[in-house]
């Protein structure tokens, strides 16, 4: 059962005509969710064949038109283009007179706040930055995933209620992000989400190399539990050889990675050092064990070895 707060009728924006400039994975999903809330998509623009097919699938019977015509038809325009393309798009639309006074102009970039829309603001538009903290597939499942999804919201103070109301209508939860904190906010999401995909993909590749037939089935429960523990407990959820100070095990890992997947070594070392720092600060990693561990990481996996070629910590699974 959804716990998303529903605004009072007096807080709800009037039913709006909606346009989408940039039919990537995000725009059609947001427009479809606004349609469920009673708004009316009227125009969408897309350049590639894939974006056009996506728009036709998720917004059937909504005409595909050039960006300037989207702005002519819509009260609320979603600018859902890549971050680097956004400033040029906004400037171009403002310069050509496509922006109408009183028009709600919404971008979904995580990097930018509302100031990137200043050229449109000077033309009379109402600027909103609404960034869904969600990964999108470009399929109808995205609309369902918006239920309870947090949105990073940045807008002029006088538009704050309107921005938050639109987010709630899409099933989301608004989180107010100041203009100056948008880059840090976006970096945090990229670190937690985008890099996670890389880590999981690397782990799956290594398991296949190790002979595991179904790495997804093996990792699923483990990663699900690790994520849940981390969200609940933070650094207290740290486990594994780095948090335990098992320098020999970590050295063995690095040796195997150099042999089978050398492209993963730099990432392993960086994450192990960061994990060691956090485990030390949290009191999980004992100082007397940290010295050997940090030495291994500094040497890139070449610890001082005993006469038998080990460091004496292999097989310790406490």
Per residue in 9-46, pLDDT (tens digit) is 344 456 999 999 999 999 999 999 999 999 999 999 98
Q: What CA–CA distance (Å, rounded) separates 106 from 171?
A: 17
Q: Give every CB contact of residue 259 below 8 A, 6+ residues apart in sequence.
A: none
pLDDT at 274 over 60: yes
CB 113 within 8 A of CB 182: yes
What is the pLDDT, as a whole number, of residue 7? 39
Which SS3 state, helix, strand or coil, does residue 237 take?
Answer: helix
- In this prediction, residue 277 carries a pLDDT of 96
Share of the chain above pLDDT 70, in %: 90
126 and 79 Cβ atoms separated by less than 8 Å: no
The residue count for the chain = 318
Residue of 43, 169, 153 lying closest to 103 (CA atoms): 43
Burial pattern 290-302, b for ≥16 Cβ within 10 A else e, equals bebbbebbeeebe
What mean pLDDT is predicted for residues 157-173?
Answer: 96
Q: What is the pLDDT of residue 103?
A: 97
pLDDT tens, position by position, 195-223: 999 999 999 999 999 999 999 999 999 99
- Reported as a single tens digit per residue, the pLDDT across 114-123 is 999 999 999 9
Supply φ then ψ for residue 19, to 5 degrees: -125, 155
Q: Look up the pTM and report it.
A: 0.83
Q: How far apart are CA 66 and CA 44, in angstroms?
A: 8
**Is there a contact between 45 and 64 (Cβ–Cβ < 8 Å)?**
yes
Output the pLDDT for position 52.
Answer: 87
Distance CA 246, CA 317 (A): 9
The CA-atom distances, in angstroms, between 78 and each of 84, 234, 265, 285, 286 are 16, 36, 41, 48, 52
| Residue 264 CB neighbour total at 10 angstroms | 19
Q: pLDDT value at position 9? A: 36
Alpha helix ranges (H) inside 111-153: 118-122, 141-145
Least confident of 58-62, 222-226, 306-310: 306-310
Helix (H, G, I), strand (E, B) or coil at 151: strand
pLDDT category at 87 given cuts 50, 70, 90 is very high
List, for residues 43-63, the tens digit of each pLDDT value: 999 888 888 899 999 999 999
Other Cβ atoms less than 10 A from the Cβ of 178: the count is 10
| pLDDT for the residue numbered 163 | 97
Kindly report, residue by residue over 233-260, the tens digit of the pLDDT.
Answer: 999 999 999 999 999 999 999 999 999 9
CA 280, chain centre distance (Å): 28
Note the pLDDT of residue 300. 79
The pLDDT of residue 89 is 97
Note the pLDDT of residue 47: 85
The helix/strand/coil state of 153 is: strand
pLDDT at 4 (0 to 100): 38
The pLDDT, as a whole number, for residue 301 is 62
Pairwise CA distance, residues 128 & 162, whole Å: 9
């Amino acid at each position: 059962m959804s716990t998303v707060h529903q605004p009072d009728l007096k807080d709800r924006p009037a039913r709006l005509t909606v346009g989408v400039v940039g039919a990537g994975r995000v725009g059609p999903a947001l427009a479809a969710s606004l349609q469920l809330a009673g708004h009316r998509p009227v125009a969408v623009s897309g350049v590639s064949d894939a974006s056009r097919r996506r728009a036709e699938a998720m917004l059937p019977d909504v005409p595909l038109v050039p960006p300037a015509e989207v702005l002519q038809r819509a009260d609320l325009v979603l600018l859902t283009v890549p971050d680097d393309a956004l400033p040029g798009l906004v400037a171009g639309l403002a310069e050509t007179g496509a922006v109408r006074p009183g028009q709600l102009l919404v971008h979904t970039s995580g990097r930018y706040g509302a100031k990137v829309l200043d050229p449109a603001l000077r033309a009379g538009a109402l600027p909103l930055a609404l960034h869904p903290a969600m990964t999108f597939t470009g399929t109808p499942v995205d609309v369902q995933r918006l239920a309870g999804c947090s949105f990073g919201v940045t807008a002029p103070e006088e538009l704050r209620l309107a921005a938050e109301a639109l987010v709630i209508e899409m099933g989301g939860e608004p989180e107010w992000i100041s203009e100056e904190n948008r880059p840090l906010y976006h970096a945090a999401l990229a670190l937690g989400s985008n890099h996670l995909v890389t880590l999981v993909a690397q782990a799956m590749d290594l398991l296949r190399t190790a002979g595991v037939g179904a790495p997804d089935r093996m990792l699923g429960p483990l990663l699900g539990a690790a994520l849940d523990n981390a969200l609940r407990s933070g650094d207290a959820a740290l486990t594994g050889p780095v948090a335990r100070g098992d320098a020999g095990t970590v050295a063995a890992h690095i040796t195997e990675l150099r042999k089978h997947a050398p492209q993963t070594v730099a990432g392993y070392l960086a994450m192990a050092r960061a994990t060691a720092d956090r485990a030390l600060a949290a009191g999980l990693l004992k100082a007397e064990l940290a010295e050997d561990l940090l030495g291994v990481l500094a040497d890139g996996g070449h610890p001082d070895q005993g006469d038998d070629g080990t460091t004496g910590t292999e097989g310790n699974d406490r």
